[in-house]
Structure 1
Amino acid sequence: MTTSPTTPAPVPPTPLRTDPVRINPTTWNQFLGFDQAQLRPAPSTWLTLAGQGPTDAEGRLQHAGDVPAQLARCLDNVEDLLGRAGFTFADVLTMTVWTTDVDAVLAGYDVLIRRLAPATPPATLVGVQRLALAGMAVEITVQAGR
C-alpha cells in the first residue's frame, strides 16, 4: 500500500485493553444490537470520524433510493477510516446514525447489526430533514478509542 504525503501510513492495531462492561437495565435494545451504555477504561488513543455518507472515493453518492445499501456503504467508509488508524468496529465507543428516513433505516437495521457484530456500541438514530447530498438518506458518525 502506498501513501501520499497527506495520508499517514496505517497505525498497526493494538489489542483492546479490556472488554466493555455492558449496561442494559432493560432488554428492548437487544434486537437492535446496541448497548444502552458501556463502561470502559479511558482510552489512551481517541479517534473521531466526520460523518460518513454512502459515497465513493470521489465523493459521489452511491445507491440513491436504497437505504440498506446506503447503510452498508456508510459502514464501508467508516470501516476504512477505522482501519487506517489501526482500529476495528470493536473499538467504536459511540455511534450516531443520521437519516432522512427513520422507518427505512429501522427496516434495514440488520445490515448495521451484522456488520458491527459482535460489537454493540451505544448508538443513537436521529431523523433529520436532509443530509449533505441530494438523495443521501444515511450518514454515520462514530467515536472510537482504546
Structure 2
Amino acid sequence: MEKRIINPWKWQEERSYVQAVEVKNVESTLYISGQAAIYPDGRSSNEDIKSQTILALSNLEQVISEAGYQPSGIARLTIYTTATAEFWPHFHVLQDWIAKHDVKPAISMLEVKSLFETLKIEFEATVVK
C-alpha cells in the first residue's frame, strides 16, 4: 500500500491532520462504524468528554487491532461531538493518540445535536493496508 499526503499548506500540521490522503495499491480496506465511550459490558459512559475521548479512542484502536490493521493505516477519521466547545480543551488527547500511532488522516469534525444515550463523542474511521 502507498499513501501520499497532500498538504498545500503547513498550518494543518499543528492540528494533527492532513488535507487529503491518496492511497494506492491497497490490500484491503476497513470501514469502522462510530466508536464511542461504551464499556465492554455495553454501558454508555456518562463521564466528561475527556474521559469519553480516551475510552472511544481505546475502542477504536481495539477494533482496528482485532481486524488485523494498524492505526497508522487510518486514511479518514470523522469526529462527531455534541459539544465542540467542551472538546477543544482536550483536543490534545486526540493529538497525542494520533502522534503515538503515526496517523496522518484526513479529518472532518461535526457537532451534532445528540449521540446515543449519554455519549458526547464518537470516532468513525476508514483504515487501509
Could you state the TM-score of these two structures normalised by the residue count of structure 1?
Answer: 0.81
One of 74, 78, 87 as aligned partner of 2:69: 87
By how many angstroms is 1:42 displaced?
4.3
For the residue of structure 2 that corresponds to 1:55, the secondary structure is coil
Q: Give unmatched runs, 5+ long, in structure 1.
A: 1-16
Which residue identity is paired with 1:106?
W
Q: Give unmatched runs, 5+ long, in structure 2.
A: none
Task: State whether structure 2 residue 114 is matched by structure 1 residue 130.
Answer: yes
Could you state the TM-score of these two structures normalised by the residue count of structure 2?
Answer: 0.91
Per the alignment, residue 76 of structure 1 pairs with: 58
Q: Which runs of 4+ in 1 moved over 4 A?
A: none
By how many angstroms is 1:59 displaced?
1.6
Per the alignment, residue 7 of structure 2 pairs with: 24
Higher relative contact order (CA 8 A, sep 6+): 2
Task: State whether structure 2 residue 46 is matched by structure 1 residue 60.
Answer: no
For the residue of structure 2 that corresponds to 1:50, the secondary structure is strand
One of 103, 107, 125 as aligned partner of 1:142: 125
CA contact (8 A) 2:81 2:111 kept: yes
Q: Give the structure with the larger helix fraction.
A: 2
Work out the CA distance in 2 between the residues paired with 1:39 and 1:86.
Answer: 21
Work out the CA distance in 2 between the residues paired with 1:82 and 1:104.
Answer: 27
Task: State whether structure 2 residue 17 is matched by structure 1 residue 43.
Answer: no
State the identity %. Answer: 22
Deviations 1:1-25 (A, max 9, x none): xxxxxxxxxxxxxxxx33x222111
State which structure, 1 or 2, has the greater radius of gyration over its C-alpha atoms. 1
Q: Give the structure with the larger strand fraction.
A: 2
For the residue of structure 1 that corresponds to 2:34, the secondary structure is coil
By how many angstroms is 1:44 displaced?
2.2
CA contact (8 A) 2:75 2:104 kept: no
Q: CA RMSD in A?
A: 1.3
Deviations 1:76-109 (A, max 9, x none): 0000000001111101110001000012222211
For the residue of structure 2 that corresponds to 1:104, the secondary structure is helix
